[in-house]
């Protein structure tokens, strides 16, 4: 295993953990205040989709055979 594959897998795990955290925020629905204003949940939904897609993309790139 070379360092590029390891780097892609580490990135995939980091993106996956961040995506899971966003999903947890959607499920738990905590009140999050930013500068005194309530943060809506839709950015977490968007972040979940984007980060999950990046995680899958990086994992698939790590599995692609190199020439």
Contact 57, 14 (CB under 8 A): no
pLDDT of residue 1: 63
61 pLDDT above the threshold of 70:
yes
Q: CB neighbours of 41 closer than 8 A, spacing ≥ 6?
A: 25, 26, 29
pLDDT tens digits for range 6-48: 999 999 999 999 999 999 999 999 999 999 999 999 999 999 9
Alpha carbon distance 17, 3 (integer Å): 21
Read off the pTM: 0.87
Domain boundaries, the chain: 3-63
């Amino acid at each position: 295993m070379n360092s590029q594959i390891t780097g892609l897998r580490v990135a995939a795990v980091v993106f996956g953990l961040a995506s899971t955290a966003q999903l947890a925020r959607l499920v738990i629905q905590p009140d999050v205040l930013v500068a005194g204003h309530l943060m809506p949940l839709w950015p977490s939904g968007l972040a979940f989709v984007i980060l999950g897609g990046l995680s899958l993309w990086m994992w698939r790139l790590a599995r692609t055979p190199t020439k």
